[in-house]
Structures are given as structure tokens and as C-alpha cells.
Amino acid sequence: MTKQNPWFETVLEAQRRAQKYLPPSVYAALVAGSERGRTPQDNLDAFAELEFAPHVLGHKADISTATTILGIPVSIPVMMSPTGVQAIRPEGEVAIARAAANRGTIMGLSSFASKPIEEVVEANPNTFFQMYWTGSRDQLVQRMDRARIAGAKALIVTTDWSFSIGRDWGSPQIPEKMDFKAIWNMKWEGISHLPWARSWLTGGGLPDLTAPNLRNPETGVAPTFFGAYYEWMNTPPAQWEDIAWIKEEWGGPLMLKGITRVDDALRAIDAGVDAISVSNHGGNNLDTTPASIRCLPAVASAVGDQIEVLLDGGVRRGGDVAKALALGARAVMIGRAYLWGLAANGQTGVENVLDLLTMGLRSALLGLGHHSIESLSPADFHIPADFARTLGVPFPAHETGRSVPPSAV
Ligand SMILES: Cc1cc2nc3c(=O)[nH]c(=O)nc-3n(C[C@H](O)[C@H](O)[C@H](O)COP(=O)(O)O)c2cc1C
């Protein structure tokens, strides 16, 4: 039998390896989605609907993929979107952060992550810290202070979550903590996934499933994942004034993640944010929200150059990155792509994913005859007539006779 090359050639192959490596309950928690699972699928399908218009000659030899995100130079327009990566590998977010640093890009660290921000910033000084609107204002200030002292370069605030639970294919049972009962219940998953179980046993013990970045500074105790989720569910939802308050308290660059509507994008500018991510939370939130790439053109054209526009959701290939940039994103964020890489081959697997996206983006630029990502435009693609979605248009369509803002694609 031939030995498998540890290097994988597409993110989908990394996903296949991740599915083999991880216990089914861990894999299912990463695949996620909600209700029908239509939105995560649309995030993937929509990219494939955009068709390249490549040139046959006139390709450029010297190609640059470098840009900046919130003032930070990056070698590729791809950064890590925050995800709580509990129980994939013991190195967790530190491995992801190091891979991102090695490939010259930014780490987004979730407040539900398994590693403390101090360790992650040490692995990658260009780390953005992500917060949900959870707990009291005093707690939020404490978390922002801790992130600032640790050296986080920007804050990502995610407010799109609407606690839409339930999947037609069922949800995995996730233990509150890794006590004897939980280990006993997971024994067959562990036995049938020995390399995964071994990595934890040799890597310092089983995952404790706590959120160290939400640690109470007085007691020093970090809540369990479910404890943190309970606090979040019981926190009154954030309003626009709260985003303005966060901006003032934080004082540094701020990204609001989860925008799909034009009116929300414009309000975000008024609230003082420096960047938004057009995102549907990877399709884990309200199912049948359109793919984020469908919402991008209208949002990007309404926002113009006032703030930076990023996109996340469904990015698996370098060509997807090119498409998002052509439709108005400055850069993209990836979620599951690096989770599959981490499961498939640890830090090297995450680097493998970033290399694939870089190579794919360079191929797209070469075929389209561009020197750099700045030259990408909608003219590089065939965009089906019914592709884009314009949500939350600030003027009624019947008054203008148009269903999209004038400058939208
Ligand atoms: C397992 C998982 C956990 C996530 N956790 C968070 C989180 O803690 N904070 C957050 O802002 N987004 C979270 N997200 C959403 C991602 O940041 C991102 O929006 C999404 O994964 C992008 O879609 P993609 O996975 O198709 O790339 C999570 C996504 C997944 C799949």
C-alpha cells in the first residue's frame, strides 16, 4: 500500500482527512450549519456560479498578492476568522496563529477559543481578538483591557448570532466538561479514532472545554463552553449605541462581523467601525440567509472607500478569494478551511491550506492577466443575472424602479 502524502492538494481533501481523523461528534460540531443547512451549502455553491473569463495571452510574470488589513501588512488577502476550536488538536489556536504568522497573515482569535490570548499573540503578534456581546459592560471592558494588554492589534465584534438551534441531521452531544462520565461516554469514539485520542494523551491531557479568554479576573476561573454560552444567551442583545460604546472603550481598530444588509453596513459606518465582514457566520445562524458572496456587491458599493470590507463564508479555493476581491472585498476570512487543515495535519496542515489559497489566487491572477489583486474586477467573471442579493436597501425599490443600488454589480 502506498503511504499517503501528508500534503493535501485541495481543502476538500483536507476535509476528508479531518472527517477520518476526528471523532464523529467533534467533526459534526465543526460542520455545523442549522435547520436545513441551506446557507452553508449556498456559501459554497455561489462561488462556483461565478465563472472565470481568462485570457489566452498577455499573462504577467510578476504577480503580487500583498495588501493590508486594518493597517497590518499581509502577504495574502486572507486572514483567520475566529472560531472556537475546542477539541481538534491540543495545540489548537496556537498552531493556527503560528501557521498564519509563518505565511504572513493575521490570526482572528475567538473569545470562545481554547487558548489564552497571551499565548496566541506570542505565536502571532498580528492577532485580532473577537468578542460577542455577552455579560455586563464591566466584563466586556475587562476582556477588552486584557486583549489590549496582551497586544491584540484590532477587535472583532460579532453580533449576528440569533441562537437558532436545531439541525435536520441532528446535533452532536458535547459534554460540559471532560470528567469521567464524559470520557466513558466517548470511549468508543476515542478507541475508533486512536491517533486523535493519542494526540491528547501525549499532548498534556484531554481538552478541558473551557473558554480561558472569558476568565473571571477576580476568581481566576474560566467558564466552561456551555457556561459561557448560557451567559451569552441571557445577555440583552446589543444595539447600535453599544457598538459606538465599544469603539470608544476599545480605542483601536474595530471590525463588525456578520453584515449582510446594506442598511446595516451604513449604520456600522455611523457607529464608527473601521471594517465590516460580510458574513452569515459560515451558515451556522439563520438558515436560508443568502451566501455572503451574494450580499457582497451591494454592501461593497454602498460602503465605497469609507471603511474596509471583508468577506467570510465558503472560501475554500484561491479562485474564491479572487472572486470575493473582484466583487468588492479587500480581503477574506477563512473558518472551516483552516479547521480542516488543522485536523488533517496540525500547524503544517494550516500552512498547507494557506499555500493552496495563495497558489490558487496566483493562478487566477495569471489567467486573468493581472499583476496584482488591485486589478481584479467584475469584468473578470461571468456573473449570472440573478446572482447578487441586495438586502436592506435604504430606499424602496418601487420609488426608483431598481431593485439594487445604482452602482451595485
Ligand atoms: C466551528 C465554528 C466555530 C465558530 N466560532 C466562531 C466564533 O467563536 N466567533 C465568530 O465570530 N465566528 C465564529 N464562527 C464563524 C467563523 O468566524 C466564520 O464566519 C465562518 O466559519 C466562515 O465560513 P467558512 O467556515 O465557510 O469559512 C465559527 C464557525 C465555525 C465553523
**Residue 266 pLDDT:** 98
Where is average pLDDT lowest: 37-51, 180-194, 302-316? 180-194
Q: Which atom of ligand 1 is nearest to the CA of 113?
A: 8
Distance CA 300, CA 398 (A): 22
Residue 63's nearest CA partner among 318, 332, 314 is: 318
Left (φ > 0), alpha (ψ -120 to 50) or beta: where does 281 sit? Answer: left
Work out the pLDDT band at 179, boundaries 50, 70, 90: confident
**Residue 396 pLDDT:** 53
Contact 226, 176 (CB under 8 A): yes
Taking CA atoms, 74 is separated from 103, 107, 304, 313, in Å, by 9, 11, 21, 20
**Residue 297 pLDDT:** 98
Distance CA 351, CA 407 (A): 38
* Lookup: cell for 322: 479572487
- Residue 83 Cα to ligand 1 midpoint, Å, equals 5
Average pLDDT of the residues of the chain: 94
Work out the pLDDT band at 394, boundaries 50, 70, 90: low
**Residue 4 pLDDT:** 87
- Mean pLDDT on 373-389: 98
Inform me whether the pLDDT recorded for 406 exceeds 60. Answer: no
Type of residue found at 349? G
3-class DSSP assignment, residue 296: helix
Q: For 84-104, what is each residue's pLDDT tens digit?
A: 888 899 999 999 999 999 999
Q: For 26-74, what is each residue's pLDDT tens digit?
A: 999 999 999 999 999 999 999 999 999 999 999 999 999 999 999 999 9
Q: For 318-351, what is each residue's pLDDT tens digit?
A: 999 999 999 999 999 999 999 999 999 999 999 9
Specify the residue for cell string 486589478: 375
Protein residue with its CA nearest to atom 29 in ligand 1? 83
Work out the pLDDT band at 404, boundaries 50, 70, 90: very low
Left (φ > 0), alpha (ψ -120 to 50) or beta: where does 58 sit? Answer: left
**Residue 1 pLDDT:** 67
The one catalytic residue among 193, 281, 370, 398 = 281
Q: Does any ligand 1 atom lie closer than 6 A to the CB of residue 282? A: yes
**Residue 175 pLDDT:** 81
**Residue 207 pLDDT:** 85
- Residue 308 Cα to ligand 1 midpoint, Å, equals 20
Candidate of 109, 276, 284, 286 to mutate for ligand 1, largest count of ligand atoms within 8 Å of Cβ: 284
Residue 331's nearest CA partner among 383, 276, 264, 398 is: 276
Q: Does any ligand 1 atom lie closer than 6 A to the CB of residue 112? A: yes
Q: For 239-260, what is each residue's pLDDT tens digit?
A: 999 999 999 999 999 999 999 9
Whole-model pTM? 0.95
Q: Does any ligand 1 atom lie closer than 6 A to the CB of residue 124? A: no
Inform me whether the pLDDT recorded for 405 exceeds 60. Answer: no
Q: Does any ligand 1 atom lie closer than 6 A to the CB of residue 338? A: no
Distance CA 210, CA 221 (A): 9
Inform me whether the pLDDT recorded for 272 exceeds 80. Answer: yes
281 is catalytic: yes
**Residue 182 pLDDT:** 78
